[in-house]
Amino acid sequence: MNKTERQLAIILELQRNKVLKAEDLAVKLETSVRTIYRDIQALSEAGVPLIGTPGFGYTLIEGYFLPPVNFTVEEAVSLLIGADFIEQRFDNQYSQNARSSRAKIEAVLPEPIQNESERVRKNFRLRIHPLNPEIEDREKTHIETIRTAILNQKKIRFKYLKRIPEPDGNRETIRTVAPLGLVLVQGGWLLVANCDLREDRRHFLISRMSELTITNESFEMPDDFNLQEYRPPDDRKIQIRALFNINVADKVKESNIYYIENTELRSDGYYVNFRVREPEELLQWILSWGADVVILEPESFRIRVKEEIKKMLKHY
């Protein structure tokens, strides 16, 4: 990083973080504190309104912004593709903002950069696996409602359709939760929330929600919760081992199903070990492979697969 790039980075860091010490800037920019002092002095002499307070750090006078930044072709393409993604998968408000942002970015690009970025973008296509239009519209509406609830720290209530029925055969439950964050996982939106019913942290697929409303009950965001660092506990305890026809090994790999723990390709087939919470989670996926898969263990799951196949045969 040369002197000009470093001084620009200092301004951007101060705009982003409001207040930073010289030591913090030195760590972020991988340089010495003495160099940061020299850069701060040079920026001040150039008219950048910096304020330094001993023991507190440096800050920019409120209202100061950098003039328009010159984007490289790669930077422009990255921003425009990012806007395409947001337009497709976020709620309606952010979709509109993404379109507006894309138009503004394209408007300020110099003509040579604009032409070159357009040429590059013609060779890339962001094609996200489409949902059922009805589900997609409902999901976007739910995302907007949940986003509002998170910002206002209000609990939400909804009906939830579970993948696996309760012991009484009922799949639908009513939940009141404190929404903590939204995560896009394998093409579907997932809500991380503290559930009143289970008195624990739970995950909910947005596509399985209905009758979603914001309640008047407030909640406080847990001090120990950081969505960027959050890793859910792995409570998959049940082991399932299967043997796939060697001809479909590549397709099994490409399926990228979450439950696969490890695999082994042998001359007699493709051995796959799964780890699940409940065998039912894997049942329909296993059945989709037809005669190309055999369950090796446990015996209880082999019997469950046989039972389901017998039920299927009754329809033919």
**121-144, pLDDT tens digit by residue?**
788 776 665 556 676 778 888 999
Length of the chain in residues, anyone? 316
**Residues with Cβ < 8 Å from 139, sequence gap 6 or more?**
131, 189, 206, 207
pLDDT score recorded for residue 67: 57
pLDDT score recorded for residue 132: 67
Selection from 240, 236, 237 nearest residue 302 by Cα: 240
Beta-bridged to residue 154, according to DSSP, are 218
Lowest mean pLDDT of 177-186, 213-222, 282-291, name the range: 177-186
pLDDT score recorded for residue 127: 66
For the cut 80, the answer to whether the pLDDT of residue 272 exceeds it is yes
User: How would residue 267 be classed by pLDDT, with cut points 50, 70 and 90?
Assistant: very high
Query: 97-133: string of b/e by CB count within 10 Å (b at 16+)?
Result: ebeebbeebeeebeeebbebbeeebeeeeeeeeebee
Beta carbons of 183 and 201 less than 8 angstroms apart: no
